[in-house]
């Protein structure tokens, strides 16, 4: 049996930031992840200045692009396009590199292991009869086994907050280094994106509320999107198959800890409810979980920002209200 103070399931941004902070408090942690790192993670890889600052990314050793403006296209319910460019300061990274960098930076012990069974015996968590810890952190994303074992009933996820996404990241000699977003085109209850990455990679994709998709599938929207990118000159050729993933946007915060186990990041469904930005909330919740364990602070995730749009200034707020008018958001904050 391998014994640790804290076992963290999942080595994404939530798990690694929790381990990083716990190390500062002198805790012995083990991260278990079903994949060896670096690993593929479906994500546009857009990060905010808040993430940059939280992780002190001045020393980031991999490619990073700073966007000083973003091109926003919004479609009305008659599919009429309204477009504008907004000044901003945002970044793009490749998750393949970023997650690996953060895992190493955490300094935590790490093992490749797919967690299947978790039991609580005599105050300890026993994982697959092989690992034992006093504290257990569920950072395994949408399909996190800690969520499944201890939180599914006390903190059920509502389908109303489920996002389906299709995307692909591939080597591409793009000529335009700006970031573009298209909201609600062809009544898509979500948005599509064009996000260039440093060192010749491009990420394109789209995400939408699953329960609000009408008769057109996500794949239909994706194929349309690719043809559109070709038409407007952002893509010359494309022969890739996109991959799909689902995750959950932020619901009113419920129970995120139970005995000595907690859930953070996508496992707790923390992505922002306007743009589905989940990296920042994953990191902030990881840091808070570390304080909960080390300093016995209440684990309260309610002050983690639930909207991304305020990062984009006045024009960003205008889009947000347009989205609300269009009823794209399932809730009114």
DSSP assignment, residue 147? I
Q: Is 196 helix (H, G, I), strand (E, B) or coil?
A: strand
Smallest distance, Å, CB 120 to ligand FAD? Answer: 17
φ, ψ of residue 136 in degrees (nearest 5):
-130, 125
Write down the least CB distance from residue 33 to ligand FAD, Å.
4
> With respect to ligand FAD, which residue has the nearer C-beta, 80 or 258?
258
Contacts of 331 (CB under 8 A, 6+ apart): 273
Task: Pick the closer one to ligand FAD by CB: 204 or 325.
Answer: 204
Residue nearest to ligand FAD (CB): 278
245 forms beta bridges with 165
Closest approach of Cβ 215 to ligand FAD, in Å? 22
Query: Is the CB of 66 or the CB of 79 nearer to ligand FAD?
Result: 66
The string of DSSP codes covering 263-282 is: E-GGGGT-B-TTT---HHHH
Minimum Å gap between C-beta 95 and ligand FAD is 7
Rounded to the nearest whole angstrom, what is the least distance from the CB of residue 141 to ligand FAD in the complex?
3
Nearest to 119 by CA among 104, 130, 108, 105: 130
Residues of this chain that interact with ligand FAD (CB under 6 A) are 9-15, 32-35, 41-46, 114-115, 139-141, 143-145, 165, 167, 205, 207, 245, 247, 265-267, 271, 276-280, 282
Q: Which is nearer to ligand FAD, 184 or 208 (CB)?
A: 208
State which residue, 38 or 107, has the beta carbon closest to ligand FAD: 38
Residue 28: HSE in the Cβ half-sphere, 13 Å Cα cutoff = 7
Structure tokens at 84: 């504008």
List Cα–Cα distances, 273 to 82, 83, 250, 286, 291, in angstroms: 22, 22, 5, 19, 25
Of residues 75 and 205, the one with the C-beta less far from ligand FAD: 205
Minimum CB–partner distance for residue 39 and ligand FAD (Å): 6
């Amino acid at each position: 049996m391998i014994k640790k103070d804290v076992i963290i399931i999942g080595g994404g941004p939530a798990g690694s930031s929790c381990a990083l902070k716990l190390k500062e408090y002198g805790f012995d942690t083990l991260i278990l992840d079903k994949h060896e790192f670096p690993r593929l993670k479906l994500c546009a890889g857009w990060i905010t200045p808040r993430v940059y600052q939280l992780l002190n990314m001045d020393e980031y050793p991999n490619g990073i692009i700073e966007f000083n403006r973003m091109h926003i296209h919004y479609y009305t319910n008659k599919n009429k396009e309204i477009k504008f460019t907004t000044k901003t300061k945002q970044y793009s990274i490749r998750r393949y590199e970023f997650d690996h960098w953060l895992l190493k930076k955490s300094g935590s012990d790490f093992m490749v292991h797919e967690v299947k069974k978790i039991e609580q015996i005599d105050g300890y968590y026993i994982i697959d009869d092989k690992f034992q810890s006093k504290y257990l952190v569920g950072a395994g994303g949408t399909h996190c086994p800690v969520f499944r074992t201890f939180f599914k009933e006390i903190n059920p996820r509502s389908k109303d907050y489920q996002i389906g996404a299709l995307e692909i990241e591939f080597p591409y000699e793009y000529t335009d280094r700006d970031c573009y977003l298209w909201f609600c085109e062809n009544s898509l209850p979500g948005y599509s994106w064009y996000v260039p990455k440093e060192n010749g990679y491009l990420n394109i994709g789209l995400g939408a509320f699953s329960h609000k998709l009408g008769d057109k599938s996500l794949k239909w929207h994706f194929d349309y999107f690719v043809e559109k990118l070709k038409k407007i000159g952002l893509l010359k050729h494309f022969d890739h198959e996109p991959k799909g993933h689902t995750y959950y946007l932020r619901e009113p915060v419920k129970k995120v800890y139970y005995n000595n186990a907690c859930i953070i990041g996508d496992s707790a469904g923390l992505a922002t409810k306007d743009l589905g930005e989940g990296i920042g909330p994953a990191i902030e919740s990881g840091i808070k979980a570390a304080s909960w364990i080390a300093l016995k602070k209440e684990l309260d995730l309610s002050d983690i920002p639930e909207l991304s749009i305020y990062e984009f200034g006045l024009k960003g707020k205008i889009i947000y209200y347009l989205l609300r008018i269009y009823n794209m958001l399932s809730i009114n904050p």
